[in-house]
Structure 1
């Protein structure tokens, strides 16, 4: 058997959706002790790892104790952060078990896109998160991490909604309001100063026809022209 969805989500939440070794996002849940060796499908045997750390550590029996120690340390650190025992903006205290440390202060926004969420729903959530962070922590550096469950097409790539979300919405629009954005397809640094004039109002249209018809209606009310004049 594999981990249940409940156990996988619990492990990801305890790790704040990061790899317990290198702290990178986009993790899968690894059996510390493999099932073939009697490992259980419980949270005690679960370690969130990124693909790279899974390849480096996951198949090595000599690393099992180290993975568990790293996991326990990271779980403990994230619990302290959530409980306010350490400043969420401070870099994580150095620990010899960890390979990489968080070196920069800033606000990390993480969103997991579930299978039932489409482009419009996800984009709306991301904008609300951006607006809230700018309001609560104005002008802090912002880092966006988007993870995606499902949404795969027959060839193994992402479906149209999630491809558009990553390429056009995240890269083409959101990046200007962040210092860095990470998605399963792209990891991009903003090479300009992060903008902090986050729009207070934001509307998302599911297709061009819907948008153009709205603009056409407004043009009649406000007496301005819209091209093209007709959208069938």
Structure 2
């Protein structure tokens, strides 16, 4: 069997009639799991792809998981942007850089936090590394490897700065922009598609009072990450 017209139309509508990989128009509905391997004809197995992306990635078993993730991400994005309806006044641009997310190998970012570095210094360095990686290798899968020298307390664990850098900052904020993060505390794989809309301006503010002052002084922050200090 093949997809019913109802399933085809539903998949196209949810993708805003765009390819879920490159966002180009004129799509056909692709079986993520081929029918020959038991793939069904439901919306869960359907991915709108343009002819180019279908030829490049559709027949590669290694890309199935990523195609599904990119489809789910694109469906959610369209739902949030248009509430499920097409808005012809907001054209969608083709995104050729999404091809890079489907390449077998990504890039590795490695950083060592030295003993003299505090939270703000280390966080700022990681942000710059992320921004530079996106500029030099747009939308490639990114893998962060983080080592930490010193910063231990008597009990053997990490001090407050390095605990927050790993748990709150890296896992709570940076994880969205990486495919995986590997740190002394833990190694984690991102269970969603890596985000690539990396903000050009990110302010690290550890003092809530200082945050209020800055927001009053400059009202146009593109992104602010707040980590309150302990009293």
Q: TM-score when scaled to structure 2?
A: 0.48
